[in-house]
Amino acid sequence: MNVDFLQQIPLFITHTKEEANRILLLCRQRTLRKGESLVKRGQRASSLFILEAGTLAVFDTLREGEVTLAELNAGAVVGELGLLDGAPRSANVRAATNCVVHELPYDALGHLFVSLDAAAYKLVRQMSLALCERIRETNGRIAQVAEDPTIVKPKSASADAAAPKAAGDWLAGIKRLIAG
Amino acid sequence: MSASAAPPPHFKYVRGLDSFRNFSDGELTALLNVMKAVTAPPGTTLIREGDAGTSCFLLVKGKVALYKEQDVKERRFLAHVQQGGLFGLVALIDGMSRSATAVAVEPCEMLELPKQVFDKLFFSGHPVGYRFQLLVAEALAKQLRHASVALKVIAQSAEAGEDLSLFEATRSLDAAQAALEEYNMTAEEVVQPVPAATDERGKKRNEIDLSAPPPKR
C-alpha cells in the first residue's frame, strides 16, 4: 500500500503526505486466502483494517442461515468503530476472494493520540463525519420500518408452504435495511 | 481563571462524567464558561429536524426524545438522550440540516454550546481541541451503536409479525438502550438470535427481559 492509495480513502483524505506516511508506518500487511476469517462477532476489537485488494464479505448468522450483509472492495475500512467505543466486533467478516489488508492496531494509534499527532486527530474528525452519515442513514431506516413493517415482514405468513419464499423476502428486506 | 473564582454551573456534575475524563479542571472550566445553562419544561422542542444547526447540548438533568418527522407519515420515535448525553452534534459536523427533532420529555437542564465555539474546538489543533474531538467522536460512535441496535430490534419485531405501534417501538428501543448502557452490552447480546425451537406462530418472541441478569463477560 502506498501513500497515494491511503490518501484516497475518505478517512485519510485530509491527511498530508507526511501525515499519511506516519499512519502507513503503523500498518502491518496481511494476506487472506479466500474464505479466511478476518474478524468474528463478539471478539475483542484491537485493530482496524484497510482493504487494499480483493473483496471482503460482512455476514451474519440468522435462523435461516448465513446472510451476506455487505461486500467490501478496495479502499474499504473495517473495524473503526471499536477504536472509539471499545465494544466487541459487531459482525463477522471474511475474505470472499484472496485479499490484501493492512492492519492498523488501536494501540499504535493510541500512541499518536497521546503524542497529539495531527494525523490521529484528522482521522478522528473524518471518522466523526462518516459516523454522522451512518447515523442519518440508520435513523432513516428506523423511521422507514416503523412506517412500513412490511419492509421486513414476510408477505405471506398464512401457509407453511409459503415459508421459504417468505423467509427469502424477509432476508432481502433485512439485508437492505442493515447493509444499506 | 483566578484561584478564587467560583466554578461554573454544573462543574461538579460534568467533572463526574466519563466522557470528559480527558479534560483537566482548567480546560473543563474554560469549556463550561462558554456554555449557556438552559432549562426546558416537558414538551419543549429543543431542536427541529430540517433547521440549520446552531448549537449542541449536554443534557445535565432530565430526558430528551429524538424523533424523525420528515419523509414520514407521522412522527417516528428514534431514541432517548439520557442524562449526561450530548445531542445536536450531527448537523454541526456535516453542515447539513438537523437530522432529527429533539423534545424534552422531562423537566430538562442543559448546557448549550454555540456552533461558533464548537467549530473552534472541533477544527482546532490545540490539545483541548483534540480532547474535544475525541469526546465528540465517542459520543457519535455510541449514538450509532444505539441506532443500529434499535434498527435490529424493530426489524426483528416486524419480522415476528408484531404490529409495531409507537409505544411498542419506544419500549423495545428504550430497553435496548438501557441494556447497552447499564451492562455495557453489545448489540448482539441485546438482540439475541431467535431460537428455532420457540418459533411458534403468533407468539411474541423478541421482548427483552431486563430483569434477567446480564450475560457474564
Q: At residue B195, does pLDDT exceed 60? A: no
Place of cell 506516511: A21
What's the confidence (pLDDT) of residue A63?
72
What's the confidence (pLDDT) of residue B65?
95
- B50 exposed, middle or buried (CB, 10 Å; 0-12, 13-18, 19+)? middle
| Contact residues on chain B for A157, CB-CB shorter than 8 A | 161, 201
Strands of the sheet containing B36-40, edge to edge, are: B36-40, B108-114, B55-61, B86-87
pLDDT digits (tens, 9 = 90+) for A61-76: 777 778 888 999 999 9
The set of residues, in sequence order, having a beta carbon less than 8 Å from that of B197 and lying 6+ positions away, is: none
What's the confidence (pLDDT) of residue B194?
39
Please, which pLDDT band fits residue B187 given cuts at 50, 70 and 90?
Answer: very low
Is the model more confident about B76 or about A28?
Answer: A28
The answer to whether B144 contacts A127, with C-beta atoms less than 8 Å apart, is no
What single-letter DSSP state applies at residue B105? S
Percent of chain B at pLDDT above 90?
59
- pTM for the full predicted model: 0.80
Q: At residue B28, does pLDDT exceed 80? A: yes
The candidate with the shortest Cα–Cα distance to B204, out of B166, B167, B157, B138, is: B157
What's the confidence (pLDDT) of residue A103?
98
Is the model more confident about A3 or about B212?
Answer: A3
Is the model more confident about B54 or about B196?
Answer: B54
What's the confidence (pLDDT) of residue A160?
37
Q: At residue B208, does pLDDT exceed 80? A: no
The amino acid occupying position B169 is A
The torsion region of residue A172 among left (phi > 0), alpha (psi -120 to 50) and beta comes to alpha
Mean pLDDT of B79-90: 96
Torsion angle (degrees, nearest 10) of CA B163, B165, B170, B176: 0
What's the confidence (pLDDT) of residue A49?
98
CA–CA distance, A50 with A74 (Å, rounded to integer): 8
Using a CB–CB cutoff of 8 Å, tell me whether B215 touches chain A.
no
| Contact residues on chain A for B154, CB-CB shorter than 8 A | 142, 145-146
Using a CB–CB cutoff of 8 Å, tell me whether B152 touches chain A.
yes
Using a CB–CB cutoff of 8 Å, tell me whether B202 touches chain A.
no
Q: Measure B65 CA to nearest chain A CA, in Å.
A: 13
CA–CA distance, A78 with A97 (Å, rounded to integer): 16
Q: Which of residues 2-31 of A touch B (CB under 8 A)?
A: none
pLDDT digits (tens, 9 = 90+) for B135-179: 999 999 999 988 988 888 777 777 776 655 544 555 556 666 665
pLDDT digits (tens, 9 = 90+) for A101-154: 999 999 999 999 999 999 999 999 999 999 999 999 999 998 888 787 777 644
Per the CB < 8 A criterion, the answer to whether B117 and B140 are in contact is no
The answer to whether A128 contacts B155, with C-beta atoms less than 8 Å apart, is no
Lowest mean pLDDT among A6-20, B38-52, B85-99, B181-195: B181-195
pLDDT digits (tens, 9 = 90+) for A15-49: 999 999 999 999 999 999 999 999 999 999 999 99
What's the confidence (pLDDT) of residue B193?
41
| Contact residues on chain A for B143, CB-CB shorter than 8 A | 131, 135
What H or E segment, with its residue span, contains residue B6? none
pLDDT digits (tens, 9 = 90+) for A89-112: 988 999 999 999 999 999 999 999
Mean pLDDT of chain A: 86
| Contact residues on chain A for B150, CB-CB shorter than 8 A | 138, 142
Q: Measure B69 CA to nearest chain A CA, in Å.
A: 9
Mean pLDDT of B54-62: 98
What's the confidence (pLDDT) of residue A175?
52
Report CA-CA distances (Å) from B17 to A10, A87, B140, B169.
32, 19, 16, 29
CA–CA distance, A40 with A46 (Å, rounded to integer): 12
